[in-house]
A and B are shown apart, each in its own frame.
Chain A
Amino acid sequence: MLMKPPPGLAPAQMVQDSRVNRGVFVDPQVFELEMQRIFAATWVYLGHESEVAEPGSYKATTLGAQPVLLTRDAQGALHALINACRHRGVLLADDHTQGKCRHFVCPYHGWTFDLAGKLVSVPMRERQTNTFKEAELGLVSVARLDSYRGFVFASLNPHVPTLPQHLGAAAEFFDLFADLSPSGQIRVETGVTRYQFRGNWKQQVENSMDGYHPSLVHYSFFEDVLKPRIGRGMGFIVGPQSPATNVSLGNGHALIDFRAFDRKAILGAEKPKSEQDWHDALRARYADRPGYADAVIACNGGDGFNLLVYPNLVLINNQIRVIHPVSYDRTEVFAYPVTLEDVAPEINTARVRAHEDFYGPASFGAPDDIEMFQRQWDGMLRTPAMEWLHYDRGLDQEVPLGEHGRQSHVSDETAHRGIWRRWLQLMQEGA
């Protein structure tokens, strides 16, 4: 059942070419509609397989604003289940917890479900009516579940295109991200950096693809901290002469592509000695693919790429960033540093320390972004007299890239226009 559009502007009126009505961010009814038409309609990232590596493990997360359980059952199969008892709707595991168990037992009346979602036990079963069927009262499952390179996605829409179709041009960047590991396997195992802000989820989506803000917002890192460290500030990365690009990949996916740089590490001041062994292992692994190992290596160290997989996943540097929309005015972000299999322990420690350098609420980067989200929210929320936000940077200079993509200078808003095209398409489908 599709919800009606909000009584204000229809989606097509709110997103026009390169301007967006502020109501898209600040109208609670738009948020409700997004949960239906975006988060319940397309693929949403739930977690990495390494977070539920063992049979019997689970992770309580969200799909849009809904609580879900990502589980691995006793046979090793993955499931994604709505995290609420079928009897009276009680949450079965606290939000954002992980663990191992054989069953989820509802603490209210004791209904018991296995990790595949099957209802296996109901206390005092004999008092149920004779039409009561356990088979019909398993936990509500998502309609589709699939993974790529260990990244698990779910959809509540049984008619959603396949995950490979959905990922499209974004898929190769998962390869570049995971192939940094000599075994091809990455792990989420060192915890998470959590942050939140009073504001809308799309602010974090946009910011993750914004190559226009760093020289000002991150001035205190790039000019005051980084320049003394490596002898260069931010100008070479995002200034007018930068070879980096701002890319729309199609389906709302987007990229800031820094790979054209002569590689010089930005995050994490010290390079472990065993880095050479690791890189040699990659060159051996990809000996039959000339240039590929070096292409992978060039993505490490803070100057590879930022990838947005619309609507809720971002890969940056060593990091898997998951955006959780809580309500129209509340957003939570989970940033997981990723470790590599089959490298020296110090390589992974350096990856964790590099993550802490710029991400998280006490780091040298993210707090200044969060501060901008806050100031942006405090501005947008209270200014109906200023209706429109502008996204036209580089519009007349962007060029096609591949089948569905477009690209332009890193500081342009090509990615953002692609994000808004996708938003509009999803919000209008079935309307």
Chain B
Amino acid sequence: MATSVDQAAVERFLYQEAKLLDERRYEDWVGLFTEDGVYWAPSGHEGPAERSVALIYDNTPRLRERLTRMGSRAFWAQQPPTHTTRLVGNVLVQASAEHADEIDVECRFILALLRRHRQALLSGVARYRLRPAQDGFRIREKVVTLQERDESFDNLTFLI
């Protein structure tokens, strides 16, 4: 078993990540991922990622492409941008049973959205595989399971 996991350090990391996302500091946010990182938001289809269409299934290069689009002068779905405010809580931390030196984290989130005078609310569970780093952690995997994953959306081009 790995050594005891610092709950407070993980929580600080999650709050910092939420702050980067809400402040749209995307370059800094992508910097939190390992080079082999994965950012995955499943759809309602039950099954392994290889056999299931996802809302988002990004490796780190594709995540960088997502950010490139964010910076494009013609990214219409984010002009005007979606403003986000998220609360992260119910943080559960444990050493990974499968991956030495990694930490499994699960938390709940509520994400309030505002775009072009329309408000909306998303919520769900985020699961992380974190690798300790000099200055905190790096994200090996972030899996966002939206409560609304089986609904029809019109725009999920902000970062969850």
Contact = CB atoms under 8 A, between A and B. Distances in A.
B57 A367 contact: no
Interface in A137-195: 189-195
B153 A196 contact: yes
Contacts of B156: 360-362, 367
Nearest to A194: B152
A197 interface: yes
A352 B55 contact: no
Given A195-B153, A367-B155, A349 B50 contact: yes
Contacts of A371: 76-77, 155
A225 B63 CA distance: 11
A95 B152 CA distance: 13
Given A353-B57, A367-B155, A217 B76 contact: yes
Given A225-B68, A371-B76, A190 B155 contact: no
A190 B68 contact: no
A53 to B, nearest CB: 16
Interface string A399-410: 000000000000
Contact of A352 (B53, B153, B157): B53
Contacts of B50: 345, 349, 352
Contact of B69 (A191, A198, A364): A364
A201 to B, nearest CB: 14
A332 interface: yes
A360 B43 CA distance: 10
Interface residues of B, number: 32
A356 B152 contact: no
Given A195-B153, A195-B154, A367-B155, A220 B56 contact: no
A361 B72 contact: no
A191 B56 contact: no
A360 B51 contact: no
Given A194-B152, A364-B65, A371-B155, A220 B74 contact: yes
Contacts of B157: 361-362, 367
Query: Which of A194, A356, A362, A371: most chain B Cβ within 10 A?
Result: A362
Contacts of B41: 362
Query: Which of B51, B52, B56, B76: most chain A Cβ within 10 A?
Result: B76
A337 B154 contact: no
B24 to A, nearest CB: 16
B43 A368 contact: no
A193 B154 contact: no
Query: Which of A194, A217, A345, A374: most chain B Cβ within 10 A?
Result: A194
B151 interface: yes
Contacts of B25: none
A194 B53 contact: no
Query: Which of B41, B65, B72: most chain A Cβ within 10 A?
Result: B65
Interface in A343-401: 345, 348-349, 352-353, 355-356, 360-362, 364, 367-368, 370-372, 374
A212 interface: no
B34 to A, nearest CB: 20
A356 B57 contact: yes
Interface of A: 189-198, 216-217, 219-221, 223-225, 228-229, 332-333, 336-337, 345, 348-349, 352-353, 355-356, 360-362, 364, 367-368, 370-372, 374
8 contacts: A190-B45, A190-B47, A195-B152, A220-B76, A228-B68, A349-B51, A352-B51, A367-B155
